[in-house]
Structure 1
Amino acid sequence: MSKEINLDGNIVSVLMGRQCQAKYIDPEIGSYKGNPLIEALPPIKTLNEVSETILNLPLFSEKDIDKPPEKRIHYVEQIRDYMQPLPIHIQIESTLSLMIRRGYLGRNPLSPFYARQFAVGIKDIMEKDLDLNGENLIGNKSTAKSYSVIGISGIGKTTAVETTLLMYPQVITHSKYQKNGLTLGYLKQIVWLKLECPFNGSRKSFCQQFFLTVDQILQTNYYHKFVNSRTTEEELITKMAHICSLHCVGVLAIDEIQRMKRGEEAQKMLDFFVELSTKLGVPLLYIGTYKAIPMFSMLLANGRRASGMGAEFMDPMKQDKQWNLFLEDLWEYQWTKKKVPLTEDLNNAMYELTQGVTDFVINLFIKSQQYAIAYGQEKLTVSLIRKVAIHNLRLVQDIIDALASGEKKAIEKYDDLSPGWVETNNYIKALGVRIGLHGKISDQHKRTRNVSKSKENFKYLVTFAMNFDLSETAAIKIVTKAMDTNKGMLDLDAQQVIVTQMILDKAKEHSNKNEIKEKRPKKVVYFPYQQDVRLIEKNAKKDKISIVQALKEEGIVKSFTEFLD
C-alpha cells in the first residue's frame, strides 16, 4: 500500500508495510540470538519461499474469452501486476536479508551502547571521526553495510526492491522481552523505510521527507516538532539521525539517487549517508539509473564500507534462456478470441521492439492485445505488434534504437542508460564479482509454477468428484489418492480419467459387498434424470464409448476453468 504526501509542491509516494506486535523466534544463527530486533523478524526464507512470494500471476479463466470486448480490454490490464521470480529478485532478497540482520548486530537495544548514544548525543557522535579500530565516539563499531541497485528506467528496480521490503513487517512493536536478566521496554522498531531523493536534490528536502514519511507510518508528529523556518539544515540532519537510532531503522532505501545535486552539495549528502552508516550503523540501499554511477564512485572514494554488500546491475534481458522463460510464461495470458502460440517470429519481434526492457515488454503485450480486441482482429500477429509499437513506444524509440545498435556512442547519448564506460567498469571492479543464479532459478521457477498449478487442479478435481454424489471428505480422499499415484504431474484431462475410474471402481466394490446372494427377479431401474451418472455409464457401455467421453458429451466433465473465477 502507498500513501501520497506533498513535499514542496511535489507529490511523493510513501510505501506502507504491515505492522505487528513482536513475536520472538529462535533465529538459529548463534550471533543473532539474544537480540530482540533480530528475533522478532520473520524466519530466513528459502529460495522456494522467496520464489512463491514474488510470483504474481494475473487471474485468468478461459471462459473470460467469451465475454464482450469492452470487458476483455479490462481483463488484459491485469497483466500489469504480472511478476515472475528472476535471478535479480533472489539476489536482492538474499542481500537485504543479510543487510538487515547483520546491521542489527551492532545495535542491540539491550546493549549499553543503545542508551549511551542518546546520553552522549547523536550530534557529537556524528561529528567525531571513527578511531583506528573503526569505533565511534562511544566505542561502538558499526556492522552496517550498503548496497546499490542500478539500471535503466523501466527495468523494474523499484518494483524488485519494494516487493522484497514488503516481505518484512515495516514496524514491530516491542513491549515485553526478557532474556538472561535483561529487559526491553516499549520500542517501535522500523524494519525498513523507503524514501525518494527529492527533485531538487537537497539535504533539507530529504530530511523533511523523512519526517513526513515516519509520521505517516507511526502516526507521530516529528515534522511539526522539528521543521520550521528557523531550523537549519544541519539541525535537521542531526534530528533525522536521532530518529533512525531511536526507532532502530533496519534499512533505509533511497530511490532515484541520480537526482542528487552535483559538486559540493552532492558531497555533503554523500558524507551524511556514509556517517549514518559508519557511525550509527544504519544499512543503506541506493536505487538509481546509470546516471548515478559518478556519485557511487564518490561513495567508494569515501571508504570501502560505503559499498559493503556490492551492487546489482539490472540490465535489459538478453535474448537467451532467461528471456524465453519470461516471455513464454507471459504469453499464456491472452484474452483474444484466438490464442496463438509463441512462435520464433513473435519472440524475435517482441525482443527487437523492446530490447528486453521489462516495462516495455509488459506494455507492448498489453497494448497489442487491446488493439486486437478493439479492432476485431482477435489474435496477435507480428505485423499487429509492430503497428502497436510504433504508436505506443514512440517516446522511448530512440532509447530502444540505441540499445539495439549496441554502439557506445549511441548509448552514451542517454546518461540514463550508461554514464561512461570507464566509470562503470571501475565501479564494478571495486565491488567484486556477483553470484550467478540463472540456471538454478529457471528450474526453481518451473517448480513453483507446477506447485501453483497442482493446487488449482486439486480444487477443481474435488469439485468434479463431488458431482458423483460424494461427500467433500470422500472426494478429497479419492483425489488425494489419485494425484499421489502420479505426483500430480499429469494434465487435468488425464487426472479426471483417473478420478472417474477410481470413483466407479469404488462404487462397484461397494455394490459387490452388498450384493444379496439369493436370486431375485431383475428390477427395472428407473432413472428420473437424463444426466444420472448411472444412466450415462449404462449408455456408454451400450454405445461402446469410454465413460469419460460420455461424461464430457453430457457436460458433466467440464473444462479446467469452469470453476475458476
Structure 2
Amino acid sequence: MSEFDVPLFHFSRGEFVEADYQDPLLEDYRNNPLLEALPPIWDDKTVVNKLASKPIFNASERDLPVHLRLHCVQRISRDFFRPLSRHLELQQSISRLIRDGYVGRNPLTPNYAFRARKDAYDLIMQGNTSGYPVNTPTSAGFALVGISGIGKSSSLLRILQMYPQVILHRKYRGQDMPAPFQIVWLKMDCPHDGSIRGLCLNFLLAVDSLVGTKYYKKNVTKNPDELLPLMAQAAAVHCLGVLVIDEIQNLQEAKDDRAAQMLNFFVQLVNTIGLPVILVGTYKALPALNGEFRNARRNSGQGDATWHHFKNDEEWTWLLQGLWKYQWTDKKVELDQEFIDVMYEESQGISDIAIKLFMLTQWRALDKEIESVTPGLIRSVAKDRLTLIRPALEALRSGKKAQIQKFADIYDSVSIDDYLDRIEAEQRQAERLELIRTELGYDVTEQTINEVSAWLIEAGVAQVIASQAAEEVTKVHLHELDEIDLHKEALKFALQKQVALVSNSAQQHSKSKPKVMPSEPNDLRVIVSQGRKKKLSAYDSLKATGYIKNPMEFLG
C-alpha cells in the first residue's frame, strides 16, 4: 500500500512539546513523569483567562468598503469565545480525569513497556478485565450529552488544547524513559456508520500521525476482533491520557449488536489499562449510553455532563454582552432587553445558533445598506435563513414534550434525579458566573480597564501605575472606547506617571541631603538638569537620551 492509499479523516490537533518536569504539588502525583510533565493544576481564574478569546476589532473598520467588512464579520464564529460556568466545570472534570488515569500508570515501574504491549493485548483478546497490574482509577470517564449546537465539541476541544497533545520524554532524573512519547489526549469522531473497524483504523492512523509509528499500514487488513486489542495496546504503549469519542450518536446507525460491543470495549479500556474515556453526543445518543458504559461509570467521581439550552437569564445576557461589541455595520447599537429577548426567542438559547444569527444579520444589513442591526432585522433573517432548523426551534418554543420528542438531537427525557441535579448545578452556575464576572469585569467599562491594565503589566509597567493609567484613560474616553487606541493612550499616561515619580523622588532626595551636583553624564539628574537649560521637560530629556522608549514599539 502506498502512502497515497491512506484514507483521510479528521481528528483534532494539539501542541507537541518536550517534557519539562515540575512539582505537581500533590504527593500522589509525584515521582511519575507522566504527571510531572503536565501543566500545573489551574485555578478557575486562570482557566477563565486562558479560555476567553476575542476577535480582532477596530471601530475604524466600520469605514472600510462593504466587501471587506463582510469578511470582518466572519471573525466572530472563528475567534469569539465567552467562558461560562459550564466550561469551568468541564475543565475541572478533565483535569481530574487525566491525572487520576495516570496515577496507576507509571512508566518507570519494572517492565512497564513490555506489560503495556503484551498484557493489554492478551487481556482484551481473552475478554479478561481483571488482574492487569495497574491501579484501576476511580474515574472511569463520563459522557457529555446535550442539545445540538450548544458548543459541546468546540468547548471540549478548546479545553483539551490547554494541554499539550504529545509530550516527548528523553530522560527523567537521569533515567531513560521506556516510552518516549506521551499522548495526553486524542479526540476523534465516531464513524458515521458506527463501524468498529473504522474507529480502530482511524485511531491507529491518528497515533501514526502523532508519533510516527506504522500501526495502520501493518494492520489495515485485519478484522475488528483483531483491531480492538491493537488499539488498546497502542493506547497503553503511548501513555494515552484520555480518549474522546465525539458524535457518539452515530452508534445508533451500527448494525446488529455493534453499538453494545463498542461501548463494552470502552469499558475494557478503562478496566485493563486505566484509560479514561469521554463520550460526546446529542440526546440521540442516550439510548446507546444506557447500557454497559453507564454501569461502568456509575461510580465515577466526575459525573456525566448534560448541556441544556440556555435560559433567558444572567448567563444568556453575559454571553450576548460579549458578542455585542463586534458590530461592523455603519452604526453600532447598544444591547438592551428587547435585543436580549429577540435573540433568545429566535435561537431558543442555543449559543451556536445565536452567534450565527448575529453574523447573518450583520451580513444582511451590510448587503442591503442598512445602517444598523434592529430587532426586526434579526426576526427577518431568522425567518429566511434558519429554515432547516425552524421546526426544531418551534418545538422547543412550544415547550410541549410530544413535539420536542420528534427531534432526537434536542430532546431530553428528564428524571426526578436529573431535575434535582439541575437545581444544584444552577446554584453552582451562579457562583461560577460571579467568579467569571469578577475576573473579566462586570460591564464593558470594567472589562476594558482590566484588559488594558493587564496589557500594561505585561509590557513591564508597575501594577499600581498600570491600574491607575487604565482607569484614568478608560474614564476619559468612555464614550469613544472603540474609536481610539486605548493601549497607546494608557502607555503614554503610564510613562509620564513613571517619569513624574522619578523626578519627585530625585527632588525629595536633593532636599534631604546637601546638594552635590552629580558628575556622571548618564546620571538621570544630570540629564534632567541639562534638559532644563534647553527648556526641555524631564520627560522629553529622558526620551531624547533613550531612557524612555517610543510607545509604538510595544504596540506591534
Question: TM bucket by the smaller chain?
Answer: 0.7 to 0.9
Q: Is 1:224 the equivalent of 2:217?
A: yes
1:416-565 correspondence runs (5 A): 416-418=409-411, 420-421=413-414, 436-450=427-441, 453-454=448-449, 457=452, 482-485=465-468, 488=471, 491-493=474-476, 499=493
Partners of 2:296 and 2:502 in 1: CA distance: 76
> Which residue does 1:371 correspond to in 2?
364
CA offset at residue 49 of structure 1? 1.2
Match of 2:302 in 1: 309
Give 1:550's aligned residue: none
Structure-2 residue corresponding to 1:31: 28
CA distance in 1, matches of 2:11, 2:229: 22
| Letter paired with 2:391 | D
Number of the residue aligned with 1:404: 397
Report deviation, 1:437. 3.3
Determine the structure 1 residue equivalent to 2:161: 166
Q: Secondary structure at the match of 1:13?
A: coil
Cα separation, 2, equivalents of 1:71 and 1:312: 41
CA deviations on 1:156-197 (whole Å, 9 max, x unpaired) are 000011001100111111110138xx7534520100001110
Select 2:171's aligned residue among 176, 194, 198.
Answer: 176
> Which runs of structure 2 are paired with 1:243-282 in the superposition (5 Å)?
243-260=234-251, 261=254, 264-282=257-275
| SS class of match (2:334) | coil
Q: CA RMSD in A?
A: 3.7
Comparing 219-228 and 267-276, the one that deviates more: 219-228
Asked if residue 149 in structure 1 is aligned to residue 144 in structure 2, the reply is yes
- Select the structure of larger CA radius of gyration: 1
Any conservation in 1 of the 2:13–2:165 contact (CA below 8 Å)? yes
Task: Answer yes or no: is 1:293 the counterpart of 2:286.
Answer: yes
Match of 1:205 in 2: 198
Q: Please identify, of 160-169 and 499-508, the stretch whose mean Cα deviation from structure 2 is larger.
A: 499-508
* Residue of structure 1 in register with 2:183 after alignment: 190
Distance apart, 1:403 and its partner CA: 0.9
Query: Aligned letter for 1:91?
Result: E
> Offset at 1:442?
2.4
Structure 1: distance between partners of 2:500 and 2:23: 50
Aligned equivalents of 2:184, 2:353: Cα separation in 1: 33
Q: Unpaired runs of 5+ in structure 2?
A: 478-485, 511-534, 538-551
Q: Which moved more, 1:20-29 or 1:106-115?
A: 106-115
Contact 1:7 1:209 in 2 (8 A): no
CA distance in 1, matches of 2:422, 2:333: 45
Q: 1:318 to 1:226 in 2, by over 3 A?
A: same
Structure 1 residues 19, 332: CA separation in 2 closer, same or farther (over 3 Å shift)? same
Shift, 1:443, TM fit: 2.9
Q: Structure 1 residue 201: deviation in Å?
A: 0.4
Q: Cα–Cα, structure 1 residues 385 and 118, in superposed 2: closer, same or farther, change >3 Å?
A: closer
Deviation at 1:65, TM superposition (A): 1.3
**CA offsets 1:292-319 (integer angstroms, 9 cap, x no match):** 1112111356434585521111111100
- Greater displacement, 486-495 / 413-422: 486-495
Describe how 1:58-73 pairs up with structure 2 within 5 A: 58-73=55-70
**Residue 518 of structure 2: aligned partner:** none
**Equivalents in 2 of 1:415, 1:499: separation in Å?**
57
- Return the alpha-carbon distance in structure 1 between the equivalents of residues 426 and 404 of structure 2: 27
Deviation for aligned residue 1:483: 4.2
The alpha-carbon deviation at position 126 of structure 1 amounts to 2.2
TM-score, L = length of structure 2: 0.79
Aligned CA distance change for structure 1 residues 266 and 456 (closer, same or farther; 3 Å): closer
DSSP 3-state at the match of 1:124: helix
Cα deviation, 1:341-372, whole Å, max 9, x if unaligned, reads: 11221111111000110111001101111111
Distance 1:137 1:459 in 2: 53
SS of corresponding position for 1:112: coil
Are 1:86 and 2:69 counterparts? no
What is the CA-CA distance between 1:448 and the residue it aligns to? 3.8
CA deviations over 1:189-209 (Å, ceiling 9, x no partner): 100001110011011111011
Contact 2:105 / 2:135 at 8 angstroms: preserved in 1? no
Hey, what's the Cα distance between the residues in 2 that align with 1:371 and 1:331?
16
Cα displacement string for residues 519-564 of structure 1 (whole angstroms, at most 9, x for unaligned residues)? xxxxxxxxxxxxx999xxxxxxxxxxxxxxxxxxxxxxxxxx9x98
Deviates more, 1:408-417 or 1:449-458: 449-458
Distance 1:163 1:348, change over 3 A: same
For residue 37 of structure 2, the aligned residue among 40, 61, 71 is 40
Aligned length: 492
**1:92-119 Cα shifts (integer Å, max 9, x gaps):** 1100000000000111111237245247
Q: Is the counterpart of residue 105 in structure 1 residue 99 in structure 2?
A: no
In structure 2, the partner of 1:517 is: none
Residues 129 and 381 of structure 1, relative CA distance in 2, 3 Å threshold? same
Q: Distance in 2 between matches of 1:234 and 1:255?
A: 22
Bigger CA drift: 217-226 or 273-282? 217-226
Partner in structure 1 of residue 46 of structure 2: 49
| Residues 182, 239 of structure 2: 8 Å contact kept | yes
* Superposed displacement of residue 507, structure 1: 12
Partners in 1 of 2:422 and 2:303 — Cα distance?
5
Indicate conservation of the 8 Å contact 2:28/2:103, yes or no: yes
* d(CA) in 2 for partners of 1:65, 1:89: 32
State the partner residue of 1:240: 231
Structure 1 residue matching 2:10: 3-state secondary structure: strand
Unaligned runs of 5+ in 1: 463-471, 515-531, 535-560
Task: Name the CA shift for 1:370/1:430 in 2 (closer, same or farther; >3 Å).
Answer: closer
- Structure 1 CA distance, aligned partners of 2:271 and 2:472? 52
Q: Which residue of 2 aligns with 1:390?
A: 383
CA 1:402–1:119: 2 relative to 1, 3 Å = closer
Other structure's SS at 1:285 match: strand
Tell me how far apart the structure 1 counterparts of residues 102 and 499 of structure 2 sit (CA, whole Å).
61
Counterpart position of 1:522? none
Q: TM-score, normalised by structure 1?
A: 0.78
